[in-house]
Structure 1
Amino acid sequence: MDILEIFGYFGALFIGLVLGLIGGGGSILTVPILVYALSFNPVIATAYSLFVVGTTSLVGALKNMMKGRVNFKTAIIFAIPAFTAVYVTRAYLIPSIPLQLFEIGDFTVTKNLAIMIFFAVIMLLASITMIRNGNKKLDNKIPEKKSNHFLLMAQGFFIGIITGMVGAGGGFLIIPALVLLARLPMKNAVATSLFIIAINSLIGFLGDVQNYSIDWYFLILFTSISVIGIFIGIWLNNFIDGKKLKKAFGWFVLIMGIYIIYKEVTL
């Protein structure tokens, strides 16, 4: 086991630690860790990320279910088009993309490059959300307007495609949709988002199982380490205010997104 591989497994612990401390965001680091530290192909990395994200989100969702924070009606309305889009994207769209897309002079844009650049853009958007909202307090007042089910389903389908493409949960997109379109209080939106992410990611992963050979030993080991990190993060919440760390983590994700774009286009 070399240094990068050891770093990769510590990265799995860090993913869970962040999830436990700030309630989200950590999973967006899964693909970079799998690609750059553990040398996985980006397509396989996004597939494995779906399993890791789905499993860790399920742990958080179960915790919130026990507290009665998950709105199951809204979750089902949002999740059905979302997990349908994720599954179709993973099972059919990703495998159908050619290995070489186009050339710009002597520079060839490949499938792997396009996936990593698109993923980096999602990281940048997520980081901006975390930086802007890092110091905001949760507003738990229930909005007065009725929810818009049609727009909620359309948003679910759109986010499902993004989740399928990059293997990230998309909580930074789901939570605003649940607040603005489903009119959920923020704490309920966060809890319901975790439930939706778990369903989307795990069903999307089924699309990969039928197309790729899965290293189950590695995947379960990596995911188990991440789940251990969640419980450590939850314990640390007794001593550290995780919300105060959200903005700092947002800057970290921003730097990582810029680094991925630089690394990919200068190879």
Structure 2
Amino acid sequence: MSVKIVVAGPRGNMGKEAVKMVSSTEGFQLVAVVDSRHEGMSLQEVEGFHGIDVPIYTDMQKCFEDKDVDVLIDLTAPAFGRKHMETAFANGVRPVVGTTGFTETDITELRAISEDKGLGAIIAPNFAIGAILMMKFSQMAAKYMPDVEIIERHHDRKLDAPSGTALKTAQLISEVREQKKQGNPNETEELQGARGGEFEGMRIHSVRLPGLVAHQEVIFGGVGQTLTIRHDSIDRTSFMPGVKLAVESVLKIDTLVYGLEHIIE
């Protein structure tokens, strides 16, 4: 039996890869896509999607009314993530969401809807398996080396800073690290923002440049030593094994999971 899937945001860099992955994965069936344009057209009529004959909808509600859908893969923009999840829940569809920008309140409220409906949901700041391992290893290291700074580097089209991955990494570290202010207690910034953003005493630095995809290093400092844990996504295909895992996993849960680290043992 095939898992019937809709991809929202198919023309984005991540969306294109997700369409290819779903179309080529045994047991997955792409039944439609949701886009901001091309209503009523077939996806194969759009450049770059030759041979993928599924309808394009601009209205997600209408898509769910017309099609039998099990899972929504949402790879749109932060402004639409919550609305799309609520629409999915209302139609009995399990969302897998790769957009960031959710607040703790958003997650709490969406988890309540998920559990009330008995529908699994996954929000993943990062789908790269290596990035999830980086976060897990960083949490392990922070127990023994609590002085840490995070540098994340992304392409210059990314809208949010810091990245969801950097924030998630800091949150995981904070679970095992007592809050402490790092650096010289009397330090001053001669240029505002030079020390980066602050999260419970940790510093997070964001770089945005063309040519980058998604990169992060977590640097720990100790007496006479440093430890750097780094992950690099050099191509967006690196995210697809995680998207596939999320789709398979969301069918087995009845709550909202924030972060693939809760899925990977």
Same fold flag (TM > 0.5): no
TM-score range, shorter chain: under 0.3
Bigger strand share: 2
> Please, what TM-score do these two structures have when normalized by structure 1?
0.26
> Please, what TM-score do these two structures have when normalized by structure 2?
0.26
When Rg is computed on C-alpha atoms for both structures, the one with the higher figure is 2
More RCO (CA 8 Å, sep 6+): 1
